[in-house]
């Protein structure tokens, strides 16, 4: 058996040549390509393996193109409300093909940028499917069935995740969509069901509703955006409901009967009543599952739990020299978390002094719907469940001058503090531009800023950020405009 293995190894070497690197990265999404760049910056000879497009799902079929679509929806919504700003504008319309094409062009432009970064940093790119042949060896199968064998003492897997399906419901790309089909529609459906009310589901619900589709959302849990603070979740549902989106929370999909042009969906609502409705299209947005199959990980002894790779605080797996980052590991499953892990992992490998492990409670969460939602840290419920004594501050944007000036008063900022130490435990926001504003709280939390320091900070006037200050003041009974 050993002789056979040796012959196979010699055949591979003869076919494509075994190549030596300091680090091989499998997967070129926001975790993988950042890992490759940082490694190259630190003087490591680096290779990256990607089976499709550099930038991964996030850049090509996720984060970036969906935000482009949502920006088009935002501009269109502003045009429809032009009279509220004293502007005369009639005949607002849209070209769906151009809206979609713009998002594809944005993705292509940024993908080209990543390709340029690989060349600039002298990262060698291998296009194909990579798998762990043995610790220290990655074999890449290319589209023409040729193979490359890459050797490195350190191998990082960053292969991300794929959309989940639910029992009895499979995406067909025609009537039942995943996110990929949902962001490249050829025509707008008259009616749409979104199954799943997490960030992805809510973003698509917001986009399609803006352009006139009748949207229904079904969520198995008792609230939409279930990872968010209860006050923010409730505010989001109220706001989206006012825009005409129908919600069924605490509901369970029982069956989906698909025809050539529509789907009849049966579900049980929160009261136990059976319901049925026909929809032109259905989007499955029930979460994602880690991409761990076909990588040789289990075969080489890498430990998995619930389908995800088990890693330590430095992203090391149970096999020496093999690492995993991003969505194939534990939550939060976010692009910026993957990128940060990439830097931590590579710098630890390189022996950079002062590297700190990632604190999941300092990773911001953002939903780019209209209105936007953003948060960091513990919700009020989580803090109380941990037995902490908390102080909670809230500020409604209706009390904010800038919100009135820009005509967007529907929103809330909520802060949660430890009553004993003054530590900022969590911050939760809904309203205009909050996905940009949240970083202020993220920085404060990372610097272990106290409540007094936040209260003593001068916030520019008039700005939306003043609501952040007022929420902190409110937690300590000092709010001025509440």
Give percent helix, percent strand, percent coil of the chain, each to the nearest 5: 35, 25, 40
**CA dihedral in degrees (224, 230, 232, 236; nearest 10)?**
30
Q: Residue 207 in 3-state DSSP?
A: helix
Per-residue CA distances from 67 to 32, 182, 366 (Å): 21, 13, 11
Write down the mean pLDDT value for the chain. 95
Q: Give the Å distances, CA to CA, from 188 to 209, 245, 326.
A: 10, 16, 33
- pLDDT for residue 4 is more than 50: no
Q: Which two tokens stand for residue 408?
A: 């967007």
For residue range 345-357, list pLDDT tens digits in order: 999 999 999 999 9
Please write the tens of the pLDDT for every residue from 7-40.
Answer: 454 444 444 468 999 999 999 999 999 999 999 9
pLDDT(3) > 60 = no
Strands 147-151 and 18-20: parallel
Residues of the chain with pLDDT > 90: what percent?
94
Indicate the DSSP class of residue 93: -
Clarify whether 461 is annotated catalytic.
Answer: yes
| Range in 14-28, 227-241, 252-266, 425-439 with the lowest mean pLDDT | 14-28
**Confidence band, pLDDT 50/70/90 cuts, at residue 359:** very high
pLDDT at site 229? 98
Spell out the residues 6+ positions from residue 346 whose beta carbon is closer than 8 angstroms to its own. Answer: 23, 35, 38, 39, 42, 44, 156
Q: Taking residues 104-120, report their average pLDDT.
A: 98
DSSP 328: G
- Please, which contacts does 79-82 make with residues 24 or more away whose CB atoms are closer than 8 Å? 81/407
* Interval 118-141: pLDDT, tens: 999 999 999 999 999 999 999 999
The residue-averaged pLDDT of 132-153 equals 97
Phi/psi class of residue 433: alpha, beta or left (left: φ > 0; alpha: ψ in -120 to 50)?
left
> Which entry of 340, 428, 461, 481 is annotated as an active-site residue?
461
Instruction: Give the burial string for 138-172 (b: 16+ CB within 10 Å, else e).
Output: bbbeeeeeebbbbbbebbbbbbbbebeeeeebebe
Q: Within the chain, what is the greatest distance between any pair of CA atoms?
A: 82
Domains defined for the chain, CATH in brackets: 2-59+100-162+289-360 (3.50.50.60), 176-286 (3.50.50.60), 371-475 (3.30.390.30)
Asked whether the beta carbons of 225 and 367 are under 8 A apart, the reply is: yes
Is residue 165 within 8 Å of 194, Cβ to Cβ?
Answer: no
pLDDT for position 14: 42
Q: What are phi and psi of 265, to 5 degrees?
A: -110, 130
Count of positions (residues) in the chain: 482
Neighbouring C-beta atoms of residue 359, cutoff 10 Å: 11
pLDDT for residue 309: 98
Query: Are β-strands 412-418 and 390-396 bridged in parallel, bridged antiparallel, or unpaired?
Result: antiparallel
Q: For the chain, what percent of residues have pLDDT higher than 70? A: 96
Nearest CA among 389, 337, 339 for reference residue 362: 337
Extended strands (E) in 27-67: 46-50
| Distance in angstroms (rounded) separating the CA atoms of residues 69 and 105 | 11
Q: Is residue 423 within 8 Å of residue 414, measured between CB atoms?
A: no
What is the structure's pLDDT at 17?
A: 63
pLDDT digits (tens, 9 = 90+) for 408-463: 999 999 999 999 999 999 999 999 999 999 999 999 999 999 999 999 999 999 99
């Amino acid at each position: 058996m050993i002789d056979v293995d040796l012959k196979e190894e010699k055949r591979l070497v003869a076919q494509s040549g075994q190549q030596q690197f300091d680090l091989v990265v499998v997967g070129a999404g926001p975790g993988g390509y950042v890992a490759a760049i940082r490694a190259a910056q630190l003087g490591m000879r680096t290779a990256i393996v990607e089976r499709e497009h550099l930038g991964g799902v996030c850049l090509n079929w996720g984060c970036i193109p969906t935000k482009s679509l949502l920006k088009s929806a935002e501009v269109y919504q502003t045009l429809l409300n032009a009279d509220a700003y004293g502007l005369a504008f009639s005949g607002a319309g849209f070209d769906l093909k151009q809206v979609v094409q713009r998002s594809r062009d944005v993705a292509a432009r940024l993908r080209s940028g990543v390709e340029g970064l690989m060349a600039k940093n002298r990262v060698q790119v291998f296009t194909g499917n990579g798998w762990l042949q043995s610790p220290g060896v990655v074999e890449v199968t290319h589209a023409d069935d040729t193979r490359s064998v890459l050797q490195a003492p350190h191998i990082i897997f960053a292969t991300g995740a794929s959309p989940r399906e639910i029992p009895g419901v499979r995406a067909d790309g025609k009537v039942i969509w995943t996110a990929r089909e949902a962001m490249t529609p050829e025509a707008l459906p008259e009616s749409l069901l979104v199954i799943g009310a997490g960030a992805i589901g809510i973003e698509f619900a917001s986009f399609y509703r803006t352009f006139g589709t009748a949207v229904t959302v079904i969520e198995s849990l008792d609230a939409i955006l279930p990872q968010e603070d209860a006050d923010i979740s409730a505010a989001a549902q109220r706001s989206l409901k006012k825009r005409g989106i129908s919600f069924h929370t605490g509901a369970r999909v029982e069956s989906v009967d698909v025809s050539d042009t529509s789907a009849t969906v049966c579900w049980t609502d929160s009261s136990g009543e059976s319901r049925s409705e026909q929809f032109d299209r259905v989007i499955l947005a029930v979460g994602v599952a880690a991409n761990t199959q076909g990588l040789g990980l289990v075969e080489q002894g890498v430990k998995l739990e619930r389908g995800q790779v088990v890693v330590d605080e430095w992203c090391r797996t149970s096999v020496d020299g093999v690492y995993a980052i991003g969505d194939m590991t534990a939550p939060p499953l976010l692009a910026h978390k993957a990128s940060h892990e990439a830097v931590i992992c590579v710098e630890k490998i390189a022996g950079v002094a002062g590297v700190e492990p990632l604190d999941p409670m300092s990773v911001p969460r953002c939903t780019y719907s209209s209105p936007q939602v953003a948060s960091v840290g513990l919700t009020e419920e989580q803090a109380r469940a941990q037995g902490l004594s908390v102080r909670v501050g809230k500020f409604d944007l209706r009390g904010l001058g800038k919100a009135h000036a820009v005509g967007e008063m529907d929103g809330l900022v909520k802060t949660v503090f430890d009553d004993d130490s003054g530590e900022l435990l969590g911050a939760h926001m809904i309203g205009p531009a909050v996905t940009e504003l949240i970083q202020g709280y993220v920085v404060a939390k990372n610097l272990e800023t106290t409540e007094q320091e936040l209260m003593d900070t001068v916030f520019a006037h008039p700005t939306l950020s003043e609501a952040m200050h007022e929420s902190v003041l409110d937690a300590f009974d000092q709010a001025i405009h509440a």
